[in-house]
Amino acid sequence: MDHITALLRDAPVPGAVALAVNRDGTLFETAAGVRDLSGDAPMTTDTIVWIASMTKAIVSVAAMQLVEQGRLQLDAPVAAVVPALAAPLVLDGFDAGGAPVLRPARTVMTLRHLLTHTAGYGYYFWNPDLNRTGLPRIPASFEEVTRTPLLFDPGTRWTYGINTDILGLAVEAASGQTLDACLRDQVLGPLGMHDTAFLLTPGQRARLARMHRRGGDGILRPIDWPVGEGQGFTGGGGGLCGTARDYGRFLRMLLNGGIFDGTRLLRAETVAEMGRNQIGDLLVHTLVSAAPKLSNDANLFPGMAQKWGLGFLLNTEQGPHGRSANSMAWAGLGNCYYWIDPARGLAGCLLTQVLPFADAPALALFGAVERAVYAMAEPAL
């Protein structure tokens, strides 16, 4: 672990926490650096960060629990539980005056589409056309989401976007609870993830790391980035804050086929299905930045065909740092990353608070941490 701590300490990020687990427990948990470059509070293993889109995996598990219970159906119309989504509109270009041209979707949106990012929703910071519509960049209310246009007909392409925010609406409708209550009762509570929440307590906020932005000059500067203040409308796509230790419990549950310390959250066959290609011949593409202060161009496996499961990115070949083909993974906007390798029984995460996303030094650190995990693990059988 000293080697990994040194990697974190020497990396050009303000602070970082790294954790790895196998099916039996934690392999290591370590931290280095500071929570805020304007102060001297150290980054510690109980530091809380905004995990952003790492929220999506947790919401996807809650949705699949409801599928197992028969309260949601993967291939039924989303409008069956969220009637306001019965007639989504697709952005079909712009007229001579620059106004968006909208048409009715030609296919029916399903829960599977939302889980696989094939429903048609995008993010404005990776799609310039969404910037041109004049509509809210990130929907802040239920009414606004019904006005958010799709970029294509559901099921016809893959594009990363607010799909899991919409999935959160379906979870609320099917469970009869707010999303934060459902996650607390069905996922976070049973796993003992007591430091993971939309709304942080004063004690938790005292352990919160600050967000930083790397400028074009390469210098990191602290910025104001309000998080942990409540669920908000976009809670399902990226509203949670938490610790590496908490997320490690979630990763172990998935490594163990849906069970954690004797508590079963999902059936083993459900977890296996979440890790299988669900988009057929479609491919995950590079996320091309339309907002350089938020994200660089992002592709976690350049040159490799990539697929999407029910909530997770899937690499179709062995990764360059050790993970097996068909591992499950994703990330959070503030340069937080995780992976789950069922074939080797290993999983891990790296948490930082740096913008823009796909920061080259943060990605290099994540790769180094991953290589260290596989170097300390037993050889593959």
Domains annotated for the chain, with CATH where assigned, are 2-54+180-376 (3.40.710.10), 78-172 (no CATH)
Query: Which residue in 56, 289, 324, 327 is the catalytic one?
Result: 56
142 has a pLDDT exceeding 90: no
* Spatial distance between the Cα atoms of 132 and 141, rounded to a whole number of angstroms: 20
154 has a pLDDT exceeding 70: yes
What pTM did the predictor assign?
A: 0.97
Segment among 42-51, 102-111, 137-146, 345-354 with least mean pLDDT: 137-146
- Cα 11 versus chain centre, distance: 23
CB atoms within 10 A of CB 124: 20
- Cα 28 versus chain centre, distance: 22
How many residues are recorded in the chain? 381
The 10s digit of each residue's pLDDT in 108-141 is 999 999 999 999 999 999 999 998 988 777 777 7
Calculate what percentage of the chain has a pLDDT beyond 70: 97
| Per-residue pLDDT at 136 | 74
CB atoms within 10 A of CB 346: 26
* Spatial distance between the Cα atoms of 35 and 351, rounded to a whole number of angstroms: 11
- Cα 299 versus chain centre, distance: 14
Q: Could you confirm whether 293 is annotated as catalytic? A: no
Segment among 103-107, 199-203, 230-234, 324-328 with least mean pLDDT: 230-234
Query: Which residue in 121, 124, 160, 337 is the catalytic one?
Result: 160
| Per-residue pLDDT at 328 | 98
Dihedral sign, Cα of residue 134, residue 138, residue 140, residue 141? positive
Dihedral sign, Cα of residue 7, residue 11, residue 14, residue 18? negative
CA-closest candidate to residue 116, choices 72, 145, 156, 172? 156
Region at 372 (left for phi over 0; alpha for psi -120 to 50; beta for the rest): alpha
Which span out of 148-152, 191-195, 377-381 was modeled with the highest average pLDDT? 191-195
Q: What spatial distance separates the first Cα and last Cα of the chain, rounded to whole Å? A: 24
Range list of β-strands (E), 95-188: 100-104
| Per-residue pLDDT at 300 | 97
Q: Could you confirm whether 124 is annotated as catalytic? A: no
